[in-house]
Each structure stands twice: as C-alpha cells, then as structure tokens.
Amino acid sequence: MKKHLLIFLVPYILLLSFSCTVFKQVENISRLKFRLNSIGNFKIMGVDISNKNSARDFNVFDATKFLNGITQGTLPVSFNVNIDALNPNHGGGNPRQDLDIVNFKWRLFIDDKETINGNIPHPISVPGKGEATTFAIGMELDLYKFFRERGFVVDSYGDALIDLALKLGGLGDSPHRITIKAQPTVRSVFGNLTYPGEIDIVDREFR
C-alpha cells in the first residue's frame, strides 16, 4: 500500500519541486535593478564636447561647422547612455545566480518627450556579485529637429541650441533630463523571460 502511495505521489513531488525552481528563478530575475549612470562620449556633429562649458568654448572651425549644420536645419549628436545593472543574487541569503540580458528594448526620453528607440546589439552578462555592472548604449539623434518640433526658437548663431546640447551631454553632472524606458529579456534555464512591461530607468535610484 505504501509502495503504491509513493509511486502515486512521485509525479506530484516532482511537479512541486519544478514549480519551486521556476518560482525561485523568476524571483531572482525580478531582483535585477537598473539605474542611469551617466552620459558619455557626447559629440556634436562629430566634435567631442569634453571640457566645453558653453558655445563660446569651441574653436572657429567647429563653430562654423555647427552654424552650417543649423543653417541647413540639422544638428546630429551621438553619445553613450551608461546604465548600471545591479544583480543582488550574490549568495548572501539567496543562491548566487549570474544573469544574462539577451534583449533590452529601450526608448529614450528627453524632458519627458520620446525621441528614439532601439535594442542592445549583443547580450550583457550581469554577475551575481552584489555590485553594479555598467553597460553603454550608443545613440544618435538630430537635436535640431527634436527641439524645433517642440517649439524651441533657434537664434541666428545657434548658441542657445549648442548650450542645450552641452547641458544634455551632462558636463559631468547627473543626466536628470534623460529617462530610459526599457523592457529587458533575461535568459533562464527555462528559456528567455521578458519583463511584463517597461521599467523607467532614471539617475536617482535603482529600479
């Protein structure tokens, strides 16, 4: 009788064990948090803005290049958005688990206005070490078109627009004008698990 009962219970025990494993995997993935770290490698029409505080800090050749672009209705910029990913599954009370982000569909917002979107070009590994792992997302945007569509008046020399670009670039400060909305997909032993919705990634805290 006991033997038959044990045989009867084995599938349920295995199912319960599998369910607990799935739950623990999902729980570990849900503990993954993100924060906006900084803006780096910011360039205006290919010109690095490092050590520049205002439009007047550029030499005559760069200023002429910007003016020509603005006259033609364009001011392309490129930059990296550096994001911190925190995986707290380091074994301190929870089993250590390294996580791989295989997709990271994102949308870039400047002053709460959507601009561009994209995805990471390759998976990102986030070790379970309790410390932030920083990864960069390369972006390109035409600032002239973005601000003009929102009613920004460009002056004759474009100085105000250049100054706005410098502020957006961070100049070493916190990139508080930028928000990234992202929907990560993380690899698991049961296949890829995608967050049910987007998360807001900001510079103030991990989310």
Q: What residues does each domain of the chain span?
A: 1-30, 32-201
CA angle 60, 66, 72 (to 5 degrees): 135
Would you state the structure tokens that stand for residue 66, as one six-digit string?
């910007």
Q: What is the model's pLDDT at position 155?
A: 61
Q: How far is CA 41 from the centre of its chain?
A: 15
- The pTM of the whole model exceeds 0.85: no
Residue 44 burial (CB count, 10 A): 25
- Give the integer Cα–Cα distance in Å for 99 and 87: 8
Q: Are 84 and 134 in contact (CB under 8 A)?
A: yes
Q: What is the model's pLDDT at position 166?
A: 84
Would you state the structure tokens that stand for residue 48, as one six-digit string?
């690095």
As averages over each run of 10 residues, the pLDDT of the chain (207 residues) reads 38 40 59 91 91 87 91 92 86 71 95 92 89 93 85 65 79 73 89 91 88
